[in-house]
Amino acid sequence: MSFGENILELRHVSKTFPGVVALKNVDMMVRSGEVHALLGENGAGKSTLIKILSGYHQPDSGGELLIDGKPVTFKNPKEAIEASIITIYQELTLCPHMTVAENIVLDKQDQFKGILLRKQEFREIAVRALKDLNQSDIDPDWIVKDLSIAQQQVVEIAKAVTSKAKVVLMDEPTSSISQKDAEKLMDIIRGLRASGVAVVYISHRLHEIGCIADRITVLRDGALVGTVNCTDVTDKELITMMVGREQTTVYPKREVPIGDVVLKVENLASGELLKGISFEVRKGEILGIGGLVGSRRTEMLETLFGMREITTGKIFLNGEEFLPQNPRNAIKHRIAFVTEDRKKSGLVLCLPVHENINLVNAQRPSFMGYLNWPKLKAIANNQRKALNIRVSSIEQIVGFLSGGNQQKVALAKWLDFSPELIIFDEPTRGIDIGAKTEIYTIMGELAARGAAIIMVSSELPELISVADKILVMQEGRMRGILSKEEMTQERVMSLATQKALE
């Protein structure tokens, strides 16, 4: 493949925040018509780099940003957009109550003359953009909030394409969409590349980068490790570049004796959402739950945790029938739930680390509701050490921590009451490989201490290497349970897409 000119160049770019050096003297070149992956653990400086490119931050003096060989400075995000650098953030920035077409033309109002809205023109632009992306099944008149995350992402990309983007920055675009949608996205990215657009792509999924990227720039601790051609490196070498150490297995396996049945679910149903779910999970066992996005795995977990009504079916906890009414009730029965969306339901972002860790502990009975903060802080400190949560102090506000550390805090709040059943929903989403490994180790330790574990994961390699057995769901129905010997990526996928194939 031949590449175009250097369209975007960074020279000696550093960025210092009070007390933290986020980027140290980074050089990087992006050519037109290439997919350039940006790789690194959380806290490696990828986000800072993206924010500099998109005009949110300004580099420290001495650093330079060049577009088509000419130095530029972006004082704000608008100037970056005017320079045809378009960013697609992890948290999408669409107006939920407006139509697809309105969202696509929102940033282009300067093009239209007069004060009246030209709905017909809006539609035409949107139809053309979606057609160019091969996404004509999205109707420009649909309201954005009714779309799936993957479809919303397509709208964001359509918005970028119609802005005549030269560089498209994508911050973990596949972190919240299913594998099938991710493949669609890859096709769209290849289309962008063919039309001469440079795509800068951040992802934690190595295999994804392997099949899409032309070149890869690796950052570690804010410094450049190197830029390599994708064809010249193996996954293992990339991991070594990222973490700075040789890593034999990404997902450590564990051997733990399997004990008595902790949770037994019989023919569980919740309205029309879930039907016919039956399984059991034992002490020391990790039950993986696979399926595509929309297979209602999260809804199933929420039903176990008392957040959704059970219409039929039975749940037995340690042999006794148990009807979870609400999270409070589930917690009383020593069930813990590490939710999928840390920011939405796992953490109180504006509170410090120790208060987040004690969100559950603080509910223990005490005289007149008095909280013994020194004691609670000691508990938090123990958890911090046990889980290796990297903070300068437990007084730090959780919102400012990296994804991996946030996830550990979200998990830590459950551990002091020794839960018998721990439910993990996408426990390693959006966290770096080092932190992932630590989460697997912690899960292994919890299992070794006799906890039963249920884990939903969309990453098949993770599911297969961590789980003792895998339950596959599709559209709220159970499609099968695979034992350790039976599980392969292909079998899980074929069960998960069964109906679609029929």
Q: How far is CA 175 from the centre of its chain?
A: 4
- Spatial separation of the C-alpha atoms in residues 126 and 155, rounded to whole Å: 9
According to CB under 8 A, which residues from 280 to 319 bind another protein? 305, 307
Query: Which of residues 229 and 345 has its CB atom nearest to another protein in the complex?
Result: 345
395 touching another protein, by CB under 8 A: no
Beta carbons within 8 Å of 389's beta carbon, 6+ residues apart: 353, 383, 405, 408, 409, 412
Task: Please identify which residue in the block is written with the tokens 């102090």.
Answer: 393
Structure tokens at 364: 């223990």
Query: Which of residues 14 and 103 has its CB atom nearest to another protein in the complex?
Result: 14
Query: Which of residues 16 and 93 has its CB atom nearest to another protein in the complex?
Result: 16
355 touching another protein, by CB under 8 A: yes
330 touching another protein, by CB under 8 A: yes
Query: Which of residues 43 and 352 has its CB atom nearest to another protein in the complex?
Result: 352
413 touching another protein, by CB under 8 A: yes
CB of 416 to another protein, least distance (A): 12
Quick one: which segment of 86-94, 187-195, 198-206, 354-362 binds another protein (CB under 8 A)? 354-362
> Which helix (H) or strand (E) element contains residue 6?
strand 6-17
Write the secondary structure of 467-496 as one string of H (helix), E (strand) and C (coil). Answer: CCEEEEEECCEEEEEEECCCCCHHHHHHHH
Across the beta sheet with 452-456, the strand order is 320-321, 312-317, 261-270, 274-282, 477-483, 469-474, 286-290, 452-456, 421-425, 335-338
Of 233, 349, 386, 493, the residue at the interface with another protein (CB under 8 A) is 349
337 touching another protein, by CB under 8 A: yes
CB of 373 to another protein, least distance (A): 7
Which residues partner with 217 through β-bridges?
38, 227
348 touching another protein, by CB under 8 A: yes
Give the residue from 9, 7, 108 showing the smallest Cα distance to 52: 9
Structure tokens at 336: 């813990």
Contact characters 54-73, another protein, x per CB under 8 A:
-------xx-----------
CB of 11 to another protein, least distance (A): 16
> Which helix (H) or strand (E) element contains residue 424?
strand 421-425
Applying CB under 8 A, what is the total number of residues that bind another protein? 32
Quick one: which segment of 22-30, 102-110, 358-366, 444-452 binds another protein (CB under 8 A)? 358-366
368 touching another protein, by CB under 8 A: yes
Residue type, 42: N
CB of 36 to another protein, least distance (A): 30
Residues that bind another protein (CB under 8 A): 61-62, 305, 307, 327-328, 330-332, 337, 339, 344-351, 355, 358-360, 362-363, 366, 368-371, 373, 413
